[in-house]
Structure 1
Amino acid sequence: MISRIWILLFATITLIVILLGSLMSLQVIKGDRYRNLVDRFRYEKVRIEPSRGRIYDSKGIPLAWNVPAYYLRINLRNLNKMDEFEREKAIEKAAKLTGISTSKVTDFASHYPKSMDYVIYRKKEITKDVSLNIMEWNNPAFTIAILDKRKYYPHSSISHVIGYVGEISEDELKEYSKLGYRMFDLIGKDGLEAEYEPYLHGRVGELIIKRDAFGNIVDTHIASPAVNGDDLHLNIDIEMQNKIEYLLSSTDITRGKNSVVIVEDVKSGKILSLVSIPYIDSNMFVEGMNSKTWRNISQDPSKPLLNRAIQKTYPPGSVIKPFIAIAGLESGKLTPEATIFCDGYFRYKNSKDKVVKIYKDWLLTGHGVTNLIKALAVSCNVYFYQAGLKIGINKLAEMEKKVGLANKTGIDLPGEVKGFFPTPIWKMSNRGDIWYPGDTINLSIGQGYMSLTPIEILRMMDIIADDGLIYKPQIVASITNSDGQLEKYFYPIISRQVLLKPESLKVVQRGLREVISRSGNSKRDLKNRGTAYDAFTGCKIPVSGKTGTAQLPLKDITHAWFACYAPSTDPKISILVLVEEGGHGGDTAAPIARKLIEYYFRGEQNGAS
């Protein structure tokens, strides 16, 4: 009996000792560990992403908008606090739930510094059901990021204008981190998305999540709300944009060719349409493309990523002749009345009156007696060969600086390049050779070293249409906040007032009107008929313009140009059409412009459509 009592007493004392030891271990030895366990899961800061601003056309049609998308968010701090076994198991389950391979999740998480709060796996969008499963799993290392996915007006050349967004690069992050940008943020990469990034991006907010020791969410509150990005409202009419694409694709001579069409409001600089073909649908960049697709696009000889309207220069051909005419009239070297006789050839003679080179006119039978107005109307090369020599390269260069012919226009799109106007100093510095009379002869018909962007040619036409006044071309009309309240309105900006003699402008304006209206004595009378007369026969809107057929260096291929404004007496719009390797401007480019003018003024043609 006594022995049993002692055994029971001993067992009781032993149990007490074990309990005291365990308590001591919990409170003293492992106390810090469990206190840290409670502390480290107590609060978590989560960014509240703002919605990117939307982009609308002039009539409110959405061109860029957002839809919700679900992505895997990996909390690196919490993941790295797990022991190796726990971490591997968590990664395996996350991979199984999302369909992302275990190796990809592991590699992605290990690629970034452990000090980062979280990373977002944007390479694969996950479904809503999968997102719910991850949320029910309630693992503090793996959560869901509900982010906006950008969508664009599909299959349209408007992609050159709108651009696209992509994940911020390391170089971009160095610049934008001070503005609150983080890794994995989307940023405008091209077009308006890049140009207006500060407006479109919005301001990030912050959510505080409180968790218990087991990772369960016990409370949340918003420390600072997100502010959505501002919306852009454009001057561009997407219906007109679509009309232009239809016209280019439905005409045999233009179908499949690299082309540019720009429509501008002469009195304000508003860009109503800007088409550059070919193009890549902006949605392809958002959906993601494999390396093979990207390589094919970037190496495509047609360069579909290039906005030809502002990012490529061309020899202007005869579309430059109005500029030559203005330079001659302003300098006094040309008069409207003076004539030359064109037999189809210009025989250039040296100081000894010896013919050293013969330059051809496009009409080898010649234009006969020709003054300045007729020379513009019929695009007489022989007249302008001689005009260029009379004016001289120095006077031409002075006029180029005065009107800013080869300067950037300042359009609100990134990547605009400037054209090039050669001078004797440039040629000596870059070619190691003097400037020859032949260089001036070639320049006078838009050939040789000179090259200009399509939008620069359109600006030249605006100078003539609006008596020397130049407006800055503007894509965006206004900016509103996400509630529709006006933040900014873009009033017309006069970028330059070119002071030209009224009589000089009237002569050139008359010549450009006769490009369309001069009928000649018969249909076969090419020497007296305007180069765009056939294209505009029957058009009820009076139009003034200039054709151009620019030959490519060392090739028997020509680009087709046409630049115009309408109506002639009170211009409202100006149009530029360029078709690469399109042949003659009067045959290819002018008919496109005519159909656009009739489309634009369809309510002013007594029922014509």
Structure 2
Amino acid sequence: MLKRLKEKTKEEKARNTMNKRIGFLFGVIVFIFAVVVLRLGYLQIAQGSHYNQQIKNSENITMNEAVPRGRILDRNGKVLVDNASKKAITYTRGKKTSQKEVLKTARDLSKLIKMDTKKITPRDKEDYWIQIHPKKAKALMKEEEQLLNDGSISQEEYDKTLYKKITAKQTDKLSDKDLQILAIYRQMMSGSPMDPQTIKNDDVSDEEYARVAQKLPDLPGVNTTTDWDRKYPYKDTLRSIFGDVSTPEEGIPKELVDKYLAKGYSRNDRVGKSYLEYQYNDVLKGKKKNMKYTTDKSGNVVDSKVISKGSRGDDLVLSIDIDLQKKTEDYLEKQIKKLRSQGAKDMDNAMIVVQNPNNGDILAMAGKQIDKDGDMKDYDIGTFTSQFAVGSSVKGGTLLAGYQNNAIDVGDEMIDTPLKFAGGLTKRSYFNKKGKVKINDKEALMHSSNVYMFKTALKLAGKPFSPNMTLPPDISDAGKKLRKGLNQVGLGVKTGIDLPNETVGQIEPLTNNPGNYLDLAIGQFDTYTPMQLAQYVSTIGNNGYRIQPHIGEEIRKANNKDSLGPVKNKIKGTVLNKVNNKPSEIKQVQEGFKMAFNEKEGTGYQSFKDTVVPSAGKTGTAEVYQDGESRVNQTYIGYAPQKNPKLAFSIVYTNQPVPPPWLNGGDLGRDVINYYFKRDKEEKENKQENKQENKQPQNNGRNANQAINQNNRNVQNGANAQNNLVNNNN
């Protein structure tokens, strides 16, 4: 009998089904894994070189975009130079973008904006003509092309011949539409690949900006952004001192390329070209926006990422007091008009420098050039770039040189009388042309004695004056000694002002020309700048320290708001040297300067006798020639107060009429002193009033509390008295 087969239970059937399904799923997973492994192996082995090449063809390029420059402010925080934002349209050319592609984009963009075509050059037209007429260009060069192919001529020779064959008649046929395209195209091609080029940033209308913005997807490389221009809230005031910044089209000027490229600038960077913008360019330039561009193998940008946003340049705070500057300019123009009305029709320059004698701060600097009609043009830069014969203003330096070399002693007296030399030469003082006057060194400054200075110079040369003497033939050593003394106070050497193009003056050799040596002692030979005169009188006023003048005061970290950021650097006046004189010798010159401005016989008495604070200084008159006619330069130097001066000034007027009459220009210095110290007094009084007002509420509060307390005491005393009265009655 056959055994009955045992049937599987439901649980066993379910288990078997599950096992089959798991096995199937596992097989699928193994299959997929195998496929992935095989695919990876294929990619690594078979296609590895292909993808490595793709990685090489994709480049990460770091590119900088310009940002606005830092502001320039005066010492009180008033903005003198700022940035005005404006709409701009730019183009960034890919590394492998062809000229044909650039031209297509230019055509498309020309339908959206209107360009100024005045900057298009004949060469631009020739290049464009070749671009749009390639067949005609080739037809012109059939013979040359054969020579180029067989190596008979170079590509450079080929191109030169092609340009010669393109005539103005051909390029003049370019239509207005062509010129619009060309104006855009030349801007697109003006820079290096991956450097944004400004196509248009002047007078971009809202409509143009919007049209371009809408079409950006169809304009590869084109972008709408903002640019900036320098703006000047005080208009022409100090405009030449601020200097200029290059335009986006200009980039780095040719004469400055080597300097800026050595510092890591790009050729299309906007940089300072002159004066303060140039001097402090590294401060004002800012940190440029840093972009990371990823390009494909064709050089097309496929991705971009901002690495750093960048920031505008740091702020430069000047030592200039803009209110004083404006007042000084007004006073200068007023004085010029007054002098012209009195006969100074040929005066062609007038300049003034105002500074703090203790630290070199330039508080104001103004200059004017005057034409024959009396029209004035700003010439502020002339205060340190032009030099003049300044006359007797230098006599304080002459005395100091005499003291240094033991030629004279403090208080020495000499007879001022005309000096007659062998050969008929006569030298005299203007204040005493014929007589004999005994004067000391202080009085020599007060009267502006030429004779005292001539005798000092002769003693310095080892040849004291004697009637009809022969002048020493070789004065080279004496000239060096005298100039060394003048140099120590700032005359005949650069002041070190933090502005480019400072001149040292005209310093001619002194060897066998003793007459010129004597003239040097009275300011009639070497020439000096108004800035040198200001440094010189400051050195006298501050007891003998020659301090480097500076117009920069502080560098402040850029702040996104209008307020000033923290101080990064302070610019201080460096002491360049101490004059080699005893305190008593410097004091003697100071006393002479004091007498020149405050004694009735002093040459500066008329203007400076009643300044709001006591002042001291020196005047000068130098004989010059203009167009063969005799003229004089007039100068005034001074400081105030007489003790511990806070302000020093120098004034120069050129080519005034030969006196008499004397045309007094010292009122300019008087007006500046009076304005400065009256304002200073008013500011102190206002501060004091503000302090009193701030204290008043507190005093009122104390008085009120005292009254309340006193009232409480009175009440309490009354109550006690009443109680005592009750007790006594009881």
Q: Is the 8 A contact 2:416 2:429 kept in 1?
A: no
Cα distance in 1 between the residues matched to 2:93 and 2:350: 50
Q: Which amino acid is the alignment partner of residue 383 of structure 1?
A: Y
Cα shift at 1:516: 0.9
Cα shift at 1:361: 3.5
Q: Which amino acid is the alignment partner of residue 672 of structure 2?
A: L
Cα shift at 1:189: 1.1
- In structure 2, the CA distance between the partners of 1:170 and 1:420, relative to structure 1 (3 Å rule), is closer
Equivalent residue for 2:702? none
Cα distance in 2 between the residues matched to 1:179 and 1:323: 42
- In structure 2, the CA distance between the partners of 1:405 and 1:257, relative to structure 1 (3 Å rule), is closer
Equivalent residue for 1:577? 651
Cα distance in 1 between the residues matched to 2:59 and 2:424: 91
Cα distance in 2 between the residues matched to 1:580 and 1:223: 57
Equivalent residue for 2:290? 206
Equivalent residue for 2:546? 470
Matched, 1:50 2:50: no
Equivalent residue for 1:163? 243
- In structure 2, the CA distance between the partners of 1:569 and 1:395, relative to structure 1 (3 Å rule), is farther
- In structure 2, the CA distance between the partners of 1:174 and 1:446, relative to structure 1 (3 Å rule), is closer
- In structure 2, the CA distance between the partners of 1:305 and 1:265, relative to structure 1 (3 Å rule), is closer
Cα shift at 1:349: 1.8
Which of 185, 200, 217 lines up with 1:106 in the alignment? 185
Q: Which amino acid is the alignment partner of residue 442 of structure 1?
A: D
Matched, 1:533 2:605: yes
| Equivalent residues in 2 for 1:420-439, closer than 5 Å | 420-425=506-511, 434-436=512-514, 438-439=515-516
Q: Which amino acid is the alignment partner of residue 272 of structure 1?
A: L
Matched, 1:552 2:624: yes
Cα distance in 2 between the residues matched to 1:388 and 1:46: 65
Cα shift at 1:470: 1.7
Q: Which amino acid is the alignment partner of residue 374 of structure 1?
A: E
Cα shift at 1:180: 4.0
Cα shift at 1:175: 3.3
TM-score of the aligned structures, taking structure 2 as reference length = 0.65
Matched, 1:376 2:445: yes
- SS in structure 2 at match of 1:189: coil
- SS in structure 2 at match of 1:60: coil
Cα shift at 1:307: 1.4
- SS in structure 2 at match of 1:382: helix
Bigger shift: residues 146-155 or 195-204 = 146-155
Deviations 1:223-260 (A, max 9, x none): 22313311111111011110011011123245785222
Cα distance in 1 between the residues matched to 2:331 and 2:434: 34
Q: Which amino acid is the alignment partner of residue 585 of structure 2?
A: S
Q: Is the 8 A contact 1:79 1:87 kept in 2?
A: no
Equivalent residue for 1:25? none
- In structure 2, the CA distance between the partners of 1:196 and 1:417, relative to structure 1 (3 Å rule), is same
- SS in structure 2 at match of 1:272: strand
Matched, 1:192 2:261: no
| Equivalent residues in 2 for 1:391-406, closer than 5 Å | 391-392=460-461, 393=475, 394-395=477-478, 397-402=480-485, 403=488, 405-406=491-492
Equivalent residue for 1:66? 83
Bigger shift: residues 408-417 or 301-310 = 301-310
Equivalent residue for 1:326? 400
| Equivalent residues in 2 for 1:3-402, closer than 5 Å | 47-77=64-94, 80-81=97-98, 84=100, 87-100=102-115, 101-112=180-191, 115=193, 117-121=195-199, 124-138=202-216, 139-166=219-246, 167-208=251-292, 221-251=305-335, 252-253=337-338, 257-278=348-369, 307-335=381-409, 336-342=411-417, 346-350=418-422, 356-363=424-431, 366=434, 368-371=436-439, 372-392=441-461, 393=475, 394-395=477-478, 397-402=480-485
Cα distance in 2 between the residues matched to 1:420 and 1:87: 56
Cα distance in 1 between the residues matched to 2:682 and 2:95: 73
Cα shift at 1:364: 6.4
- Please tell me the root mean square deviation across aligned C-alpha atoms, in Å: 3.6
Q: Which amino acid is the alignment partner of residue 542 of structure 1?
A: P
Bigger shift: residues 230-239 or 91-100 = 91-100
Cα distance in 2 between the residues matched to 1:603 and 1:174: 48
Q: Is the 8 A contact 1:400 1:406 kept in 2?
A: yes
Cα distance in 2 between the residues matched to 1:142 and 1:514: 72
Cα shift at 1:87: 4.9
Equivalent residue for 1:29? none
Cα distance in 2 between the residues matched to 1:578 and 1:157: 19
Cα shift at 1:59: 1.0
Cα distance in 1 between the residues matched to 2:195 and 2:70: 26
- SS in structure 1 at match of 2:272: strand
TM-score of the aligned structures, taking structure 1 as reference length = 0.77
Q: Is the 8 A contact 2:385 2:501 kept in 1?
A: yes
Matched residue pairs, number? 523
> For structure 2, which runs of at least 5 residues remain unmatched after alignment?
1-52, 116-179, 341-346, 462-474, 560-564, 686-730
Cα shift at 1:418: 1.2
Cα shift at 1:323: 1.2
Cα distance in 2 between the residues matched to 1:202 and 1:162: 17
Higher share of residues assigned strand = 1
Cα distance in 1 between the residues matched to 2:236 and 2:339: 17
Cα shift at 1:444: 2.0
- SS in structure 1 at match of 2:413: coil
Matched, 1:446 2:532: no
Q: Is the 8 A contact 2:350 2:651 kept in 1?
A: yes
Cα distance in 2 between the residues matched to 1:544 and 1:532: 9
Equivalent residue for 1:288? none
Deviations 1:7-58 (A, max 9, x none): xxxxxxxxxxxxxxxxxxxxxxxxxxxxx99x99999866342321111001
- SS in structure 1 at match of 2:312: coil
Bigger shift: residues 250-259 or 479-488 = 250-259
Q: Is the 8 A contact 1:471 1:493 kept in 2?
A: yes
- In structure 2, the CA distance between the partners of 1:604 and 1:121, relative to structure 1 (3 Å rule), is closer
Q: Is the 8 A contact 1:188 1:194 kept in 2?
A: yes
Equivalent residue for 1:20? none
Matched, 1:418 2:509: no
> For structure 1, which runs of at least 5 residues remain unmatched after alignment?
1-35, 280-300, 426-433, 520-528
- In structure 2, the CA distance between the partners of 1:536 and 1:90, relative to structure 1 (3 Å rule), is same
- In structure 2, the CA distance between the partners of 1:318 and 1:586, relative to structure 1 (3 Å rule), is farther
Cα shift at 1:186: 1.1
Cα distance in 2 between the residues matched to 1:366 and 1:567: 36
Q: Is the 8 A contact 1:547 1:586 kept in 2?
A: no
Q: Is the 8 A contact 2:354 2:365 kept in 1?
A: yes
Cα distance in 1 between the residues matched to 2:521 and 2:450: 8
Cα distance in 2 between the residues matched to 1:79 and 1:91: 17
Cα shift at 1:596: 0.4
Q: Which amino acid is the alignment partner of residue 468 of structure 1?
A: G
- SS in structure 2 at match of 1:552: strand
Cα distance in 2 between the residues matched to 1:104 and 1:231: 36
Q: Is the 8 A contact 2:419 2:426 kept in 1?
A: yes
Q: Which amino acid is the alignment partner of residue 226 of structure 2?
A: I
Q: Which has the larger radius of gyration?
A: 2
Equivalent residue for 2:13? none
Q: Is the 8 A contact 1:535 1:586 kept in 2?
A: no
Equivalent residue for 2:722? none
Q: Which amino acid is the alignment partner of residue 380 of structure 1?
A: S
Q: Is the 8 A contact 2:594 2:616 kept in 1?
A: yes
- SS in structure 2 at match of 1:97: coil
Equivalent residue for 2:585? 504
- SS in structure 2 at match of 1:259: strand
Deviations 1:408-449 (A, max 9, x none): 111111111213444434xxxxxxxx223x22222222113x
Q: Which amino acid is the alignment partner of residue 567 of structure 1?
A: P
